[in-house]
Each structure stands twice: as C-alpha cells, then as structure tokens.
Amino acid sequence: MPSTADDWARDLCRYVDASPSPFHAVDESARRLEDAGFAAISPDDDRPTPGKWYLRSGGALVAWVDADRSADAPLRVIGAHTDSPNLRLKPLPDHGALGLRQVGVEVYGSALLNSWLDRDLGVSGRLVVRDGDGRVEHLVRDDRPVARIPQLAIHLDRDVNDKGLVLNPQTHLSPIVGSGKVESGAFVATLAAMADVDPTDVLAFDAMYHDVVPSCLSGPDNEFVSAPRLDDLLSCHAGTEALIAVAGQGSGPDAGQAVPVLALFDHEEVGSVSATGAAGPILKRTLRQFVNFDGRRSDGSLVLSVDGAHGTHPNFREHHDDEHQVLLNGGPVLKFNAKERYATDAPGAAEVRHLAEQAGVPLQSFVSRSDMPCGTTIGPATASGTGMRTVDLGVAQLAMHSAREFCGSKDPAMLGRLLEAALAG
Ligand code: ZN
C-alpha cells in the first residue's frame, strides 16, 4: 500500500492509465490481487476452501477473503464501477468523405460531449477471435493518438460562445482516423493487428476511445489529480488496494472480524441493468455460491457504494446547496438523497462516521439543491439486490463525465484508509 498521500495519488494515476476500458480495469485489479496472493475462480467451480479469491466476468470482478473468518462473520462489501462515459465504436464503423477516413461512434453514458473535441484519442477494448473450433478473447489497446474530432472553427460558428455548443452525436462526433480511400473492414483490421490475429478471424469487438495524455498530479504543490475516468476508477483503485491491505493483515486473532468483499461492476453509466451491472445477479450469486451469503449475520454487515461526488465548483456555486459545500481535499463525501437516489440512511451514515473517526479521516456531506435532480449510482441497486445496509460515498471531483476529470490529490488516500477500516469490520 502506498505510504504517503502523494504516493497513493501517483499509484492511482498508474491504475487509471492501465485501464482505458472496463475490461482493462478488471485486468489491472486482477493483476494486483494475484500479486497479493488472490486466486481466480470461475462460476462453474465448486465452493473452494476459505482463502483469497476473485471471480471476473467481462467488466466486472468480485473478490473476497474468507480465510480465518467464522462461517457467520458479517460481510463488508465495497462496490464501485469500472465504466466511464466515452465514445464507442459502431459494429460497421468505417466511413468518410473529402479524402478523410472516419469511424462511427455511439455515446456511452452521459458524456460531456465537448470534452471529446480537439483531443488526441487512443483506442482500446476486447476482441473475440476464432480459435480452431472455439473462440478466445483478446484485450487490445493503442495509446498512440490514432483519432481526433476537430472542433468547427469559430469563424464558421460565430454564436458558439454566446449561445453554447450544440453537438449532434450522429453527425458531429465522427473521429477522423486517417486519410485516403474508405475501405470497409479497415477498423477491424487495425484491431486485429493489435492482437496479432488475422482480421477474418475477428468475430466481434467492444471498442472505445480514450484520452492518451497520461494522468498526473497537478497544481504548484501537487494538490490535484488530472486524469480521465476518475469516476469511478478512483474508487476501483481504492477498493482494490484496501482489500489487498486487509488481506495482508495476518490470520487467526489478527484477521479482521468480517469477510471483506470487493465488487467492481460494469454499466453504471447506462443504468446498471446488465449481467455484469450492479442491478444484475453477479454480486449476490457469487456471495451465495462461494461465501455462505444466507448464513451470514446481518448485524455488522455493510455495503459501501463508492462513486465520485460533486465538489462545489467555484465558478458555478449557484448550482450547489449553500449549506453543503464540498471541498477538494476535504475528505470523502457521504451522499444523501431523500428519494433514494443514494442509499445512505442515518444508521449507515453513523456507522461510516464511526469508522472515519477511528481511521482519522474527515468526512463531508453532499446533498443536491432541492430544485435540481440528483444523479444516482450503484448504491440503490446493490441495496435492493442484496437487502444489505448500504451507504453511498465517494471522493469529490470537478468536471465529472468530462473526458478529463479533476480531484484533490489528498482525498484518494483518505478514502483508502476509510475503506480499509470498513473492510476490516
Ligand atoms: Zn460514477
């Protein structure tokens, strides 16, 4: 576990840069867990002996430690999501005009579309490739600036600064990916080259664009983190590192009192309703199959749904509730909403405040303005799916859902300490 807040933030940057897609995020968490002695298990395996295990499925991962815990020890679950808003390739993407080759994209999630303009873009994803009579999956990525969506010059759109930029996702967002004649199959051929396979063997792909500029600490005193996908890779990173820390805390009387669980879900940005989303069965099914879910004490069990929180923006303070200002580097943020867009209730908030006091971590509180709708996260889906007490919290950030987001550099380590205390039970 990184020792200082800056080390933690730099490790977060490495995690984010290793994870241009949800599949890569799962791969990076799995790699770190394996390095810490966790072993992979598949849904078709029998129940293993207690130990350190993880199960992965596409963009989702569930990991737990049940060695040296009693069969009814409560569950402590950290949930986060691996997906972020971005631009995703259409199945037949190749088109173009005027001597330029372009590709068709769909908008994934509630992306700030303007943030994808004038930005050097790399591409990543997974391919499913014919392999004899079977099929194999390849993760691929190209971090070179292979695509770009140039903005229209202001001389051709004089009102844009006064009236705002309106972008049609079908007609205005096709990245330019090269020059010359358009050839159908060209995009698949580039993916096939990344995986070193024959293009005719590529049966299908899930591919998406990402900002190629590496994540970094920013500000004169490294006060901030500038990175893509902080929502919600910041929480995936903290959850992974907290689980590894708790798993390393010895056995016997030194082991935690609870069974710590990490649940990384896909598809939060499009509503969580999928086989690998928080509204799907993956968490509860895995806990039932391998972790004796129904025999666990509910007293002491807790889910922390960890996702980005809105810091109060200094240029747009009127968009925030005056009494609930949220500061960068002010500590993790408990999220409240009376309409259950967040799952936090008073006993859950009290439990997290108790844990934060023990860990020496300050907490903040977020609630939306009453005249503005509130976003949501995996908390309500996890609470209704498992019946477990769930608390929504996360690290404050600005520019949420931009291709490049911004947060304090001290908060991620504070979140890590809090999650470690929660997992220990
Ligand atoms: Zn999120």
CATH 2.30.250.10 residue ranges for the chain: 86-211
Identify the helix (H) or strand (E) that includes residue 232. helix 230-247
CB atoms within 10 A of CB 74: 18
CATH 3.40.630.10 residue ranges for the chain: 5-84+228-424
CA of 231 to the centre of ligand 1 (A): 5
CA of 73 to the centre of ligand 1 (A): 30
Burial (CB < 10 A; 0-12, 13-18, 19+), residue 333, is: buried
CA of 278 to the centre of ligand 1 (A): 12
CA of 411 to the centre of ligand 1 (A): 16
CA of 359 to the centre of ligand 1 (A): 25
Q: Is 37 helix (H, G, I), strand (E, B) or coil?
A: coil
Instruction: Give residue 252's pLDDT band: very low, low, confident or very high (50, 70, 90).
Output: low
Which residue in 311, 219, 271, 230 sits closest to 6, CA to CA? 219
CA of 84 to the centre of ligand 1 (A): 7
In whole angstroms, give the CA distance from residue 333 to residue 412: 11
What digits encode the pLDDT tens for the residues 51-110?
999 999 999 999 999 998 999 999 999 999 999 999 999 999 999 999 999 999 999 999
CA of 260 to the centre of ligand 1 (A): 22
CA of 308 to the centre of ligand 1 (A): 5
Q: What is the DSSP letter of 392?
A: E
* Crossing angle for the helix pair 230-247 and 5-17, to the nearest 10 degrees: 120
CA of 129 to the centre of ligand 1 (A): 31
CATH 2.40.50.140 correct for 86-211: no
CA of 20 to the centre of ligand 1 (A): 15
What's the token pair of residue 148?
A: 């770009």
In whole angstroms, give the CA distance from residue 283 to residue 276: 9
Q: Is the pLDDT of residue 368 over 90?
A: no
Query: Which percentage of the chain shows pLDDT scores above 90?
Result: 88
CA of 58 to the centre of ligand 1 (A): 18
CA of 229 to the centre of ligand 1 (A): 9
CA of 300 to the centre of ligand 1 (A): 26
Instruction: Give residue 145's pLDDT band: very low, low, confident or very high (50, 70, 90).
Output: very high
User: What is the topology classification, in CATH, of domain 5-84+228-424?
Assistant: Aminopeptidase (3.40.630)
Q: Is the pLDDT of residue 250 over 70?
A: no
pLDDT the model gives residue 253: 55
Q: Is the pLDDT of residue 1 over 80?
A: no
CA of 378 to the centre of ligand 1 (A): 8
pLDDT the model gives residue 259: 95
What digits encode the pLDDT tens for the residues 284-341?
999 999 999 999 999 999 999 999 999 999 999 999 999 999 999 999 999 999 888 8
Strand order through the sheet with 202-211: 134-147, 121-131, 202-211, 86-97, 100-108, 176-179
CA of 343 to the centre of ligand 1 (A): 14
* Crossing angle for the helix pair 230-247 and 22-35, to the nearest 10 degrees: 20
Q: What is the DSSP letter of 132?
A: T
CA of 267 to the centre of ligand 1 (A): 10
CA of 68 to the centre of ligand 1 (A): 33
CA of 232 to the centre of ligand 1 (A): 5
Query: Residues 161, 166, 169, 170: is their CA dihedral positive or negative?
Result: negative
CA of 81 to the centre of ligand 1 (A): 7
CA of 407 to the centre of ligand 1 (A): 14
CA of 41 to the centre of ligand 1 (A): 27
Q: Is the pLDDT of residue 201 over 60?
A: yes
